[in-house]
Amino acid sequence: MMFTALAAILLAFVAASIILKAARTVGAAYFFTNEPSGNFIVSNTIGADGKLSPGQVSWVGGVGQYISHN
């Protein structure tokens, strides 16, 4: 019985923290790299204060190409 009560309290705490975190996020910003070593998509969350917070980096394959405009 004690374990069940503790598990229910823990579940409620985790659910509340997820909801509060989602409420502070108002958008997302995505950046694409163009590197010869490989390309990535970098995602960041935008908070209610307008600040970017680190998100995830995902490898998308392919390689970048630099072109000289001399």
What is the distance of C-alpha 39 from the center of its chain?
17
Confidence of residue 11 (pLDDT cuts 50, 70, 90): low
Q: Report which residue type is found at 49.
A: D
Work out how many domains the chain is built from and give that number: 1
Q: Residue 45 pLDDT more than 70? A: yes
Could you tell me if residue 1 is inside a domain? no
- What is the span of the domain harbouring residue 67? 25-70
Could you tell me if residue 33 is inside a domain? yes
Q: Residue 51 pLDDT more than 70? A: yes
Q: What share of the chain is helix, strand, coil (3-state, %, to 5)?
A: 35, 35, 35
Statement: the pTM of the whole predicted model exceeds 0.75? no
Q: Among 7-11, 35-39, 42-46, whose mean pLDDT is lowest?
A: 7-11
Could you tell me if residue 34 is inside a domain? yes
Could you tell me if residue 38 is inside a domain? yes
